[in-house]
Every structure is written in C-alpha cells, then in structure tokens.
Chains A and B, each alone.
Chain A
Amino acid sequence: MFSYKNLAIPLVGLAAASLMSLPAQAENGPGVSDKEVLICSYQPMTGKVSSYFRMGKGADAWFKHVNETGGVNGRMINYKMVDDKYEPPRTKNIVKRFVERDKCFAIVAPLGSAPTVAVIDYIVDNKVPLIGAGTGAAKNVFYKSRYVFPLYPPYDLEGTELVRFAAEVFGAKKIAVLYQNDASGKTHLAGIEVGLKKYGVEMVVSEGYEPKEVDVSSQVINMKASGADAVICSCAPEPAAKFYTERKKLGWDVPVVNVFFGKSPKVPELAGADAVDGVYFATIFREWDDPNPQIQEAKGILAKYYPEESPDAVHLWGFTGAQVFTEALKRMGSGDITRDALLDTLEGIDQWKGSVVPVVNIGEVGPDDEAVKHLLVPGMSYVQYKDGKFNPFAPPWMK
C-alpha cells in the first residue's frame, strides 16, 4: 500500500546525497577537474601577423614543460590555442566557444590589440580571468575589472617615454614619427603628443603606414626632408626593417628609437645588420643571452618544443603570462581551484622572481580601480643594436 512515509525515506536519502555532492561541485571552477585545468588562448597562427604567434608558442612550450615535469599539484594544464588570424570577428566567435562550450577556466596569453578590444567586455561579463594578453591597447590596460591582468604598459605611456628618450639621449629638438596606421600606432602617437609638451620637443612630421604596404619610401623621403634630428619608429618588425633599409639607402644618419614590439632579431635579419646598427629599442623583457637562470631555462624549453624558432622577445610575452598563471596555480594547492581564488592568489604575487621577467608585483584592484594595477610587467628598459647584437643601454634617468 502506498504510504508517504515510505516515500519520505528515499527522498530524504536523495536530498542528503545531493547535499553531500554539492561541495564537491563547488570546489572546482569551470574547466577544472582533479586531473586537468583547461585554459584557452586566441592566436594569429596564420595570416599577415602570424609572426606574433611566437607568443602562443612561448606559452605553449612552457605548459608542455610543466606537464612533462608532472603538472601542477597533480593536475595537467590543457592549453588550447585557436587561430583567429588577428581578425576580431573570428576572435569573438572563438571566445564565445571558449566560454560557453569549452568552459575554459581562464584565457591566458592571447595575442593582439584589435582582437582583445573586441572580446574583453564579453570575457569580463562572463567573469573569466584574462591573463597576460599581448596588447598595450588602453582599453585592456585601463579596464575597470579584477578579471583583467594586462601584460605590459600601455602604448601611450611608452610613446611619452620615447619622447623623453629622444630629448635626453639624442638631445633632439625636432622629431619625426613613423607609426602603424592602427590602434597601436595611434595610441603611441597620442602618448608622443603628451611627451612633446612635457619635454619641449617639436614633432615636425608624423607619417603613417599600412601594415601591408609594399614599401615605405615616400614616408621616409618626407621624414628626411623635414629636417628632424631624431626619429621615433612605432613599427612592427617587418615594417621597421623596411624603414631601416630605406633610411640607409637615403644615407640618412639620424638617431632612431623603436617601440618595444618592433624589437626582434627579425629586424637586422631582414634589413641587414648594417642598416640597423646603432638603433635603440625600448624593451620590457630580458635579452635571451642574459645569464639569468629563468631565461636560460626558457631558452632550453623553447628549443626543445619549438626547435625551429629563433628566440625572440615575443616568445617571452607568452612565457610571462604562462609562468605567472602556473605560479598562481601552484600557490592554490590541490584544493579549491575557482576563478575567485585565482584572482586572490594572483593579487598576492609580490616580489616574485621566478619568471623570465626580473620581478612580478601584482597589485590589488578594487571595484573602482583600473586593471593597470594588475600589470604583470610594469617596467620598461632599453637596448641598442650594435655589432650584431642587442646590448643593454641605460638612459641617464635610469642610471
């Protein structure tokens, strides 16, 4: 005979069982199991800026190394990279899949200003940590969110610093600027304009170029004719090489400082060492021939997993985000792995010297604070390409 009493016993049992199972589900965030953490990244694996896929390769090499040496607290890191060709509409679809279908725990070391600007609102709205994106676009760096951990300083601050460099190192009064006609170049230009007033320098000409332009001869001829006594080149490696070739052709022996994302062995390789000799480059990472043990370890890891790659600063962008994420994962132990715990742990990283960058200090971001306090690499330094290699250079204010 049916009795509610008989039904109550299994119902209570079921309720108890589900209550017992609840804490187990809450322990791990999306994409995390006891054996694996799924993290994701969009990369220009093919297309016109595929040379920047080095960032993804750097991060991937590091995670492969971590997995081969036992993972982190018993968990393997599954690093999923998808090709967005540096096309923001593709990035949007990819990131939607990362969040809704794949349940990625975090997005680590993705590349690109335009792609990141296109997806950052969605990422933050879905409370997915975005760690070490390869962009200095203002939207990313000054985003008001705890979920954003920018990799390096914004381009406008770099632009201002480069005017200081031109004024104090070259003694320049009149500068010419060559910039990429997109978000990165225009942000640099805005920063340069701030620097002009600050350091009493006049910009006599600013010339833009399209990334796909066959040559930059007309721009360089104009710059030479302007009578500028120094040049700031906001150029990626390939256009930078074209600029240095053209400058040499015209016999224009003007001092130049190049933005950090153009610092690459590709520049002297493409333009010829003679054309680049004496050029200064901003940089935010150590040199690959630095005896620092973390750099030498990274060099070995990159050579092991990507033997065809010539080590480049862009690889280090990837290593940095990947190493900071790994460190946070280590500190979180084998217990609760949630996104909130990840944010707390990242914000607790202070004076950490275990990565390829000299020191990582991550500040705390409150509800009204900008993500700039989360910068993984806040400092900037300089090198000079001389006698076939990049040599450290300290401007007067850094000595």
Chain B
Amino acid sequence: MLGQQILSGLATGSVYALTAIAVVVVFRNTRTINLAQGDFGMIAAFLGILFIKEFDLNYYVMLPLVVLCSMALGVLVERIVMRPIADSDWLTLFTATLGVYYILHGAAGWIWGRDTKAFPVTFDAEPVDIFGALISQGHLINMGWAAAIGIVLFFFFKYTKQGIAMRAVTDDPETALLMGIPVRFIVLLTWGMAGFLAAFAGVLLAPIVYVSPEMMDEVLIKGYVAAVFGGLYSIPGAIIGALMIGVAENLAGGYLGSHFKTATAFVMIVVLLTFRPQGLFGIQKRREI
C-alpha cells in the first residue's frame, strides 16, 4: 500500500509540476504571481475539445495547435494587460492577473458553458505495474511529458541565447538592459512560455480532472504552493516541491485520514517557511536600505 500511495502521489505531483514551473518562470522575469496561469491551461483544454470534436483533428495535430494558441494567449495578455502597467508595484500586477483570471473564467463559461465535460482523448485503461504498484497510462504519460518539459527547459536556459538572456533578466534586469538584452522581448517570451506550459498542463490534466471553467483552480493553488516550496526562483525546486506535495498529500490521506489530505500542502509550506523562508532551493535576498 505504501508503494501505491507514493506512486499515485508522484502522479498527482507531476500534475502540479507544470503549473509550478510556469509560476516560477513568470515570477522570475516579471516579479508577477500570475493568478491566470491555471486558466491559460483551462482555455487550452477547451480548445483541445474544440479541435478534436469540431475539426476532427487527432491528438498529435491538436496538441501543437493548442500550444500555439495558448502561447498567443500569453503574449496577448502581456501586450494588452501587463505591459502598460509593467512598472507598477507587485500588488497592481498581481491584481491585474486576478482580473485576467476572472475574464477568462467568464469567457469560457459564456462560450462553452459551465457544465463539466469529458476530454475526448482517453488513454488505454489497462494500468501499468511498477514494482507491484499500479499507475494508469494517462498518469504515466503525464509524468513523461512533465519530465521531458523539465529537461527541455533545462537545456533552453543553459544553452540557448534566449534562455541565457532570460536568466540575465532574472538576475538583474537593469544591467541586462544596459548590456543590450531586449528586456521587453524577453518578458514577452516569458508570457509566451507561460502559455506553452499551460497548454501542456491543461491538455494533460483534462482527462483526469475533466474540463470546466474551474478545472484548474485547485491545481493552480497547489502549483503555487509547490513553487514557493521550491524557492520561487528555481525550476528544479518547483518540480521537486510539486512531487513532494503530491506524495505528502497521499501519505497524509492514506495514513492520517482523508481529512488531512487537502491541508497537507499548506502545513508543509508553513513549516518550511518558518525554518527556511527562502524555500527549499531559494537564495535568501536581503533588501538594501
């Protein structure tokens, strides 16, 4: 039973991981906690249904199209909403993303209805046996995607010009600007990347949590907690945080009782921040006076 609880927890944690990574990427480059991150994924899931059902596209044609649309949504939000207030304080930026959250919620409900919908792609129902613990093929594929995206991002930030530029903007935006890095373009790219990650999160989660305007609400909260847990600046930290939360929730639910399950993530974050305010992999920054 222990192995099964851990494996199921890892599967759930991988679901949180994609959202946690996106929260970190946007925060690092824009100092914005993007409350609309989950809803980018929700819109992607609805678009996935639209492309498959109305345009009769198969999964592998639908996926890149949804990714493109979701990136376009991220870019659009940056250009229309975030750029005009880019120099505002964090609370204004935070509130603006809250506005985007409600707009996307309302728009999805208006266009597609508020009824929960099944995602028309289901994976083979036969579970896979891993050392006696069972995992569904859908969850296994999700974990594979999350791992692949993590690796792609690692190489992107380590070896590509844009990735290195993004890291420079993260470290010191003013110096990056003086060195000729197009900071505005990097910020635009950041929001595009948020859309990219959201598309995967939405489409991969859709068969598990089903599709509705509220489908990503709980995932966003857990993804955010995972991001803070990992230090808010660290992508590996966000992934590890998400997996730890997924496993801890399942173990708490399994051994302490189901009532403890949902509170676990928050207990973990309170305890961690008490002893290590910068998170697991965060760097403690001291404010200069």
Q: Roughly how many angstroms separate A225 CA and B251 CA in the complex, as a whole number?
A: 14
**Quick check: is A255 within 8 A (CB to CB) of the other chain?**
no
Return the CB mask of B8-41 against A: 1 if under 8 Å, else 0: 1101100100000000000000000000000000
A217: which of B11, B109, B217 is its contact (CB, 8 Å)?
A: B11
B114: which of A46, A218, A225 is its contact (CB, 8 Å)?
A: A46
**Quick check: is A48 within 8 A (CB to CB) of the other chain?**
yes
CB of B210 within 8 A of CB of A241, answer: yes
Q: Which residues of chain B are near A209, meaning CB under 8 Å?
A: 258
**Quick check: is A34 within 8 A (CB to CB) of the other chain?**
no
Q: Which residues of chain A are near B218, meaning CB under 8 Å?
A: 212-214
CB of A249 within 8 A of CB of B12, answer: no
Q: Which residues of chain B are near A245, meaning CB under 8 Å?
A: 136
CB of B134 within 8 A of CB of A251, answer: yes
CB of A218 within 8 A of CB of B261, answer: yes
- A251-B122 contact, Cβ under 8 Å, with A214-B222, A218-B254, A266-B116: no
- A272-B125 contact, Cβ under 8 Å, with A48-B214, A218-B261, A251-B134: yes
Q: Which residues of chain A are near B12, meaning CB under 8 Å?
A: 214-215, 217
Q: Which residues of chain A are near B9, meaning CB under 8 Å?
A: 217-218
Return the CB mask of B230-261 against A: 1 if under 8 Å, else 0: 00000000000000000001110110001101
CB of B127 within 8 A of CB of A250, answer: yes
Shortest distance from the beta carbon of A183 to any chain B beta carbon, whole Å: 15
Q: Roughly how many angstroms separate A323 CA and B250 CA in the complex, as a whole number?
A: 46
Q: Which residue of A lies closest to B218 (CB)?
A: A212
Shortest distance from the beta carbon of B144 to any chain A beta carbon, whole Å: 17
Q: Which residues of chain B are near A237, meaning CB under 8 Å?
A: 116
B253: which of A46, A218, A308 is its contact (CB, 8 Å)?
A: A218
CB of A270 within 8 A of CB of B116, answer: yes
Q: Roughly how many angstroms separate A214 CA and B17 CA in the complex, as a whole number?
A: 14
**Quick check: is A126 within 8 A (CB to CB) of the other chain?**
no
Shortest distance from the beta carbon of A267 to any chain B beta carbon, whole Å: 10
CB of B136 within 8 A of CB of A218, answer: no
Q: Which residues of chain A are near B130, meaning CB under 8 Å?
A: none
CB of B109 within 8 A of CB of A46, answer: yes
**Quick check: is B1 within 8 A (CB to CB) of the other chain?**
yes
Return the CB mask of B118-152 against A: 1 if under 8 Å, else 0: 10001001010000001110000000000000000
Q: Which residues of chain A are near B170, meaning CB under 8 Å?
A: none
CB of A213 within 8 A of CB of B261, answer: yes
Q: Roughly how many angstroms separate A96 CA and B116 CA in the complex, as a whole number?
A: 31
Which residues of B from 178 to 228 have beta carbons under 8 Å from A? 208-210, 214, 217-219, 222
Which residues of B from 31 to 53 have beta carbons under 8 Å from A? none
CB of A218 within 8 A of CB of B219, answer: no
Q: Which residue of B lies closest to A217 (CB)?
A: B8
- Most central of A53, A214, A248, A272 by chain B CB within 10 Å: A214
Q: Which residue of B lies closest to A271 (CB)?
A: B118
B217: which of A212, A221, A222 is its contact (CB, 8 Å)?
A: A212
Q: Which residue of B lies closest to A222 (CB)?
A: B254
Shortest distance from the beta carbon of A290 to any chain B beta carbon, whole Å: 23
CB of A270 within 8 A of CB of B258, answer: no
Q: Which residue of A lies closest to B105 (CB)?
A: A46
Shortest distance from the beta carbon of B274 to any chain A beta carbon, whole Å: 25
CB of B258 within 8 A of CB of A219, answer: yes
Q: Roughly how many angstroms separate A45 CA and B217 CA in the complex, as a whole number?
A: 18
- A269-B217 contact, Cβ under 8 Å, with A208-B258, A217-B8, A218-B261: no
CB of A214 within 8 A of CB of B134, answer: no
Q: Which residues of chain B are near A274, meaning CB under 8 Å?
A: 125
Q: Which residues of chain A are near B261, meaning CB under 8 Å?
A: 210, 213, 218
CB of B115 within 8 A of CB of A50, answer: yes
CB of B258 within 8 A of CB of A308, answer: no
Shortest distance from the beta carbon of B205 to any chain A beta carbon, whole Å: 8
- A50-B114 contact, Cβ under 8 Å, with A215-B12, A218-B253: yes
Q: Which residues of chain A are near B249, meaning CB under 8 Å?
A: 218
Return the CB mask of A237-261 against B: 1 if under 8 Å, else 0: 1100100010011110000000000
CB of B127 within 8 A of CB of A251, answer: yes
Among all A-B residue pairs, the 8 with the closest Cβ atoms: A218-B253, A217-B8, A50-B114, A218-B250, A218-B254, A249-B136, A208-B258, A207-B258
What are 24 A-B pairs with beta-carbon distances under 8 A? A46-B114, A47-B114, A51-B115, A181-B258, A181-B259, A207-B258, A209-B258, A213-B218, A214-B12, A214-B218, A215-B208, A217-B8, A217-B9, A218-B251, A219-B258, A221-B5, A221-B8, A221-B250, A221-B254, A222-B253, A238-B116, A241-B210, A250-B127, A269-B118
Q: Which residues of B approach A to under 8 Å, CB–CB?
A: 1, 4-5, 8-9, 11-12, 15, 109, 113-116, 118, 122, 125, 127, 134-136, 208-210, 214, 217-219, 222, 249-251, 253-254, 258-259, 261-262
